[in-house]
Amino acid sequence: MLFPARKLFKNAPIQLMVWGIFLFLSFSLLGEAVTPKQAQVILTKERLVALFQEKTGLVAAAHQKVLMAEADYKKVLAVYFPEFNATIGVGPYPKKIYHPTKVYDNVQPDGTFQMDQAHWETHEGDFSEYGFALRARVSFILPVYTFGKFVSGRDATRSLVSMRKSEAMITKLKVREYALTLYYSWLMAHDIKKMIDGAVTEVAKAEAQLKDALYEEKEGVTQKDLIRLRIEKEKLLIKQNKINFDIKTLTQVFDDIIGQPWVIEQQYLEQESFDRTEEQLLEYLATSSPYINIAKSGVNARYNLYRLELYKLLPDLGIVGYYSFKYTSSVDDDNYPSPNSPYNSHDGEFGIGLRFNLNFVSQYQSMKKAKAEWEATKLQVAFMKQKTKLDVQRNINQLSELDSALKHVKKAHKYAKGWMTMEISNHSSSGEFSKDLIDAFKAFMEQEYQLIKTTFDYNMKIEQIKTMVGE
C-alpha cells in the first residue's frame, strides 16, 4: 500500500513515505477501538501534531534514551561511594581435633625427651561427626582521589545527556513534519476531489448538450467533438477513482491515529505564512538549534572520553580494607595456642592504597583510539555545520521559488477561469458548442490543480525548513 501523500505528490521525499508507512503501522498497533459514545475530535494542525507525538512511540523512545543517559551520569557521580564486595560460603566439614605438642618424662637414648609434635587429627571417614564450615569475607574500597578520571567521566556523560535531549527535540520536530504531511495531504486531496467532482458534473452536462446538438444536426458540431469530450470524461473518472482511494487510505490512517470520531477543522488548503529571514534562520541554526547542540555535545563527549583514557594511566587513591570470618562447627581447637585457628578465626585490616592498571600498552592504545575519535568527530561536525548551512540556504531559495511560482500560478488560474467563463457565456448565448470550450475547461482544470499542488509544496517546504533548522 502506498502512503497517501506519496501517491498524490510524486516529488515528496522518499523518507516521508517510509516514515509515513511506519507510523501508520505503529498507530494500527497502538490505536484504541472507537466506541459510539466517544466525542468527536476537532483536528487543528497543532492538535494532530500533538496526537502524533503522543501515540507514535518515537517521542517516548527518545525520552527513554534521555533517561538512559541520565542514569549513566548518575552512575559516574556514584563513583565516590564505597565499593563493597562480600563472599559467603557454607559446606560440610569433617571432624578435626587439635593436639598440642606433648613432652614425656622418659629420656631417649640420644639424650632427648620423647615428644609428640602438634598435629590435627582428622576423622574423614566418619560422616556422623561431620559439621559445617562457614566462610565470609567483606572487602571495601573508598575512592579518595581519581586523578581526573571522575571529572572526565562526569563531563562526558553530562554531554551525552545534552545530546539525548537534543535528539528528543529533533524527533518531535520530525514527527511534526510527518503529521503535517498527512494533514496537508488530506486538505489537498479534498480540494482536488471537489475540483474533479465538479468537473465530472460539468462534463456530463456538456456531453448531454453535445448529443442533443448532434441529434439536431446543428452546424459545426461533429461526432469527433463528442468522442473528444468522452475521452476527457474517462480521464477525469480515472482521476476521480484514484483520489477517492487516496482519501479512503488517509481516512484509515487518521482513524487509527485518533481512535475516535474526528473532523478536520480547516476546510481547504491555503498558503501558510512564513516571516523568518535567511539571516534569522542561520543565526538560530548556529546558536540555539538542537543540531548545533548535538554537534557541540558530541565533540565535548569525545574530548572527555579521551581525557578519561589518558588519566587511566594514573592510579586511583583510596582507603581499602577487609574483614574475614571463619567458623567450623566440627573442629575442636580448644587447645590451639592462638585465639584464631585456621578453621575458627576472624581478622581484618584497612589502610590507604593505590590501584594501578599495569597493562600500559593496552591503555596507551585505548588513549590513542579515543584521541582519534575525538579528532574525527571534530572534522565531521565541521563538515556537518557547513553542509547544513548550505542545505538551509538551498531550501530557503526553493521556498522563494515556490512563493514566486504561486504568484504566477494564481495569475494563470485567474486568466484560465476568465477564459472558461467567457466560453461558457458564449455557449449559453449562442447555444452552439465550441471546441474552445473544452480547451478552456482543460486549461482551468490544469491551473486549478497546479494552484493546489504548489500551495501544498510551499507549505511542506516551510515545515522542512523548520525541521532542518530545529525550530
Spell out the SS3 assignment of 141-205. Answer: EEEEECCCHHHHHHHHHHHHHHHHHHHHHHHHHHHHHHHHHHHHHHHHHHHHHHHHHHHHHHHHH
Q: 274 and 196: one domain? A: yes
Q: 194 and 91: one domain? A: no
> Which CATH number is 189's domain given?
1.20.1600.10
The mean-pLDDT minimum among 13-17, 256-260, 434-438 falls in: 13-17
Q: 280 and 381: one domain? A: yes
Higher pLDDT pick, 422 / 115: 422
Domain tally, the chain: 2
Model confidence at 33, pLDDT cuts 50, 70, 90, reads very low
Our CA dihedral for 219, 220, 223, 224, rounded to 10 degrees, sits at 170
Look up the domain containing 92 and give its range: 85-146+317-358
Cβ atoms of 399 and 463 closer than 8 Å? no
Higher pLDDT pick, 115 / 329: 329
Q: 105 and 245: one domain? A: no
Is 310 within the bounds of a domain? no
Is 279 within the bounds of a domain? yes
Cβ atoms of 117 and 123 closer than 8 Å? no
Q: 369 and 419: one domain? A: yes
Q: 155 and 260: one domain? A: yes
Q: 384 and 413: one domain? A: yes
Instruction: Tell whether the model's pLDDT for residue 272 goes beyond 60.
Output: yes
Cα(28)–Cα(35) distance, integer angstroms: 16
Query: What percent of the chain has a predicted confidence (pLDDT) above 70?
Result: 89
Higher pLDDT pick, 238 / 19: 238
Q: 45 and 112: one domain? A: no
- Tell me the residue type at 240: Q
- Tell me the residue type at 351: G
Instruction: Tell whether the model's pLDDT for residue 226 goes beyond 90.
Output: no
Which of 325, 342, 358 finishes a domain?
Answer: 358
Q: Which residue matches cell numbers 593436639?
A: 99
Model confidence at 181, pLDDT cuts 50, 70, 90, reads very high
Q: 278 and 323: one domain? A: no
Which of 326, 358, 390 finishes a domain?
Answer: 358
Give, to the nearest 10 degrees, the angle between helix 149-215 and helix 58-77.
Answer: 180
Per residue in 388-419, is it b (16+ CB within 10 Å) or e — as a string?
A: beeebeebbeebeebeeebeebbebbeebeeb
- Return the SS3 of 109: coil
Give the residue-averaged pLDDT of 303-331: 92
Q: What is the pLDDT of residue 108?
A: 72
Neighbour-count burial of 385, counting CB atoms closer than 10 A to its CB (0-12 exposed, 13-18 middle, 19+ buried): middle
Q: 261 and 130: one domain? A: no
Is 211 within the bounds of a domain? yes
What's the predicted TM-score (pTM) here? 0.73
Is 273 within the bounds of a domain? yes
Is 312 within the bounds of a domain? no
> Whole-number mean pLDDT of the chain?
85
- Tens of pLDDT along 368-413? 999 999 999 999 999 988 998 999 999 999 999 999 999 999 999 9
Is 311 within the bounds of a domain? no
- Tens of pLDDT along 120-152? 888 888 888 899 999 999 998 888 998 999 999
The mean-pLDDT minimum among 272-276, 326-330, 431-435, 456-460 falls in: 431-435
Model confidence at 203, pLDDT cuts 50, 70, 90, reads confident
Q: What is the pLDDT of residue 8?
A: 41
Q: 405 and 451: one domain? A: yes
Half-sphere exposure for 272 (CA within 13 Å, toward CB): 16
- The CA–CA distances, whole Å, from 133 to 127, 137, 210 equal 14, 14, 110
Is 388 within the bounds of a domain? yes
Q: 96 and 195: one domain? A: no
Is 56 within the bounds of a domain? yes
Cα(206)–Cα(218) distance, integer angstroms: 15
